[in-house]
Chain A
């Protein structure tokens, strides 16, 4: 423990980085459309991601309708069903979650939280968004081309992804691959910005070990993305060659309809390796920002410092590193060398160690905290529960012998939806309820918020818990209809109906949420400055919402970490990061002993 009294002279390192000259927009177009301001770009990213996410939500309704009530909806053909699952998965994982966490929250929070005026390369940052938008538009275009979007499944496994039997073989797959390549180019431009801003453009006093965990999560996730997306890029380019030029990178010799195709000698497993070398880190690209954000939400709303800050940072870094050596646990049934399974099962289970450290630390942060059950806190707690549930089924699937029978069943669907669908989305909701006042100056409506929370949280369990059971009894995933199967009891169909009804109700709650976002923008209760009484820098800007350049004339100076809540002896229960030690108000009765810093 460090004793800090108002008498202490506070040491400050001299400024190393010159204050930057910002581009000052003059017209509406340069301010809000071709904007170079990270905060505007963040909102552009977020709105685009949520919009395309709603499309994916509607796709999931249609899938559920088909599964719950087969033979009822004539507009869902078997081909259409495959297209639905493909587009739903791809949009949710890449165009919604990745873009919203890194492009949305990353852009908004990184410069504010580290005390910078903007990202280091605002022009490149602007390009990043517009290339992302182009990628989204190319993806949307694939719905409308002849043959429709691709139905290859979000994993796009060759050889079937580019063969005639797969829907969208003529144009859909081409647009999908092009869209992915564009997304990666756009993301790289943004990602370089996030990483360099965190590394090189922090304000005075902001050491890496004083950053809020939100920034840590986004920072490490961005590094993962910069190293993992290249594999997907290469895979996409080579598959594009296979499809357009007739090369055989991924295509073995194939007989189709009794006719030998011109392909031969390629390796389908190669694509799976490339895909999952990207695909597994991708899980952590959406999980790590969630981990970071949820740590901050818990700390702020429990009025307590995060438990084990250093361990939390190291856990993020270690999880990030390990995520690059586990990819083949997605491929136990692919026909790769079975001995690989031993290595990848071991490395997979090792990831449980740093992850468990994080979960314990979250729970210990709550322990004896002054818990305010605000909406962000509710979502944060819901995240912990959901993440533990999804994580534990991950231990099942990480083991080769358990995975082989469960592979390609509904159990897998339930697992990854819990752990990388519902859990990160809950964090996103919590984060939006938390930072909406900062972005808009108004609070979100509480009543609608509570309705949204309880329906989403309980509904998610009504959807995905039964799905585990379906998987255990052997219901396969990606099937248009099971029909009458000997080993699947008829009650499975009833359960599917139940899941569909639950899914539609949860979907409806999301519409209420979107309505709340728009309604509160105009009619919401005006927020006071720093409504959650948080310490981190984004709430300490001269104006709220923060103005162009964030900080007025002087950059903030940081004296402490981001978790000085309920410091013994201080009059206020939070000490903002930029509050100088000699300005800390002392509580009555503590004048003699002064303030003890909270960090232990």
Chain B
């Protein structure tokens, strides 16, 4: 049985049960993940690697928050806005979170219409997603500006542990960069969808390869990942 997989095959390799079956499936002929295109497999593995980066950032932030002897500033007070004379904690962050999560919805719809070959709807939904993303980055820029005006710097701040500012700029900056790259990615792909590159089999400028609508889903994977990371940042940095 198992030996047959290694040497000559006179018939289709029979599929064993249990754990051996799982191994046989993964090690099966030609592809480990059936019907998963190369690009999608690559994006998943990249996101796994990127998960480790964000995990290390967040764990490091929690470690310094614990190692510093100076009290940690209260995020609810720091990230509050006075609107109409009323001080509302975390209001901007709440709006940003709402926007980013909504953008995941429009992205998912774009993927659906992409596979349905509906060029116009796909492109518009991707542009809407990009607009949500851009407004998220814009609000983040507003937040940064506000905090910098209030005296927050990477090396110190008026309210307590200097690691507050360090971690804040580092983590939100790194996440914001991811969102910005996603927006650029979305715009580029939306343009190609709009132009019909994936129907006319036009070759890519850099890679000289033909693309297809799977790229919309691959973009979507990245986008959903960036949203998911934000949820963790929101929970661990802002709510804690």
Give residues in A with beta carbon < 8 Å to B: 1-2, 4, 8-13, 15-17, 21, 23, 120-123, 188, 192-193, 195-196, 199-210, 226-227, 229-231, 233-235, 237-238, 241, 245-249, 262, 264-267, 270, 274, 277, 309-310, 559-561, 564, 581, 597-600
Contacts and interface: CB of A to CB of B under 8 A. Distances in A.
A200 B32 contact: yes
Contacts of A10: 8-10
B5 A241 contact: no
A192 B45 contact: yes
Contacts, number: 191
Contacts of A266: 64, 67-68, 163
A322 B161 CA distance: 37
A248 B31 contact: no
Given A16-B29, A21-B210, A210-B6, 16 more contacts: A16-B34, A23-B207, A120-B38, A121-B207, A203-B30, A207-B28, A227-B52, A230-B52, A233-B56, A245-B166, A248-B155, A248-B163, A249-B64, A265-B163, A310-B6, A581-B10
A208 B5 CA distance: 10
Contact of A123 (B64, B67, B206): B206
3 nearest CB pairs, A to B: A265-B68, A208-B27, A230-B52
Nearest to A5: B10
A255 B13 CA distance: 69
B60 interface: yes
Interface residues of B, number: 57
A10 B10 CA distance: 5
A226 B49 contact: yes
B30 A17 contact: yes
B57 interface: yes
A552 B193 CA distance: 35
Interface in B180-232: 206-210
5 contacts: A16-B29, A199-B41, A203-B30, A241-B154, A597-B8
Could you say which of A2, A206, A230 has the most chain B C-beta atoms within 10 Å of its C-beta? A230
A200 B38 CA distance: 7
A598 B7 contact: yes
B5 A200 contact: no
The interface residues of chain A, by DSSP majority, are classed as loop
A196 to B, nearest CB: 5
A37 B26 CA distance: 28
Interface of B: 2-13, 23, 26-34, 36, 38, 41-42, 45-46, 48-50, 52-53, 55-57, 60, 63-64, 67-70, 154-155, 161-163, 165-166, 170, 174, 206-210
B7 A234 contact: no
A80 to B, nearest CB: 32
B163 A247 contact: yes
Nearest to B12: A11
A564 B7 CA distance: 8
A218 to B, nearest CB: 15
Nearest to A193: B42
B166 A248 contact: yes
Given A13-B30, A23-B208, A274-B60, A205 B154 contact: no
A226 B29 contact: no
Given A121-B42, A196-B41, A226-B45, A208 B10 contact: no
A16 B52 contact: no
A208 B6 CA distance: 9
A270 B9 contact: no
B64 A267 contact: yes
B30 A15 contact: yes
A600 B3 contact: yes
Contacts of A121: 38, 42, 207
A205 B56 contact: no
B45 A206 contact: no
B69 A265 contact: yes
Contacts of A581: 8, 10
Nearest to B44: A196
B70 to A, nearest CB: 6
A199 B26 CA distance: 9
B69 A231 contact: no
A37 B70 CA distance: 55
B8 A270 contact: no
A325 to B, nearest CB: 14
B39 to A, nearest CB: 8
Contacts of B46: 188, 192
Contacts of A235: 56
Nearest to A199: B32
A507 to B, nearest CB: 37
Given A247-B154, A599-B3, A201 B60 contact: no
Nearest to A205: B29
Contact of A16 (B8, B27, B31, B174): B31
| Residue from A204, A208, A310, A561 whose CB has the most chain B CB atoms within 10 Å | A208
A64 B18 CA distance: 57
A560 B8 CA distance: 5
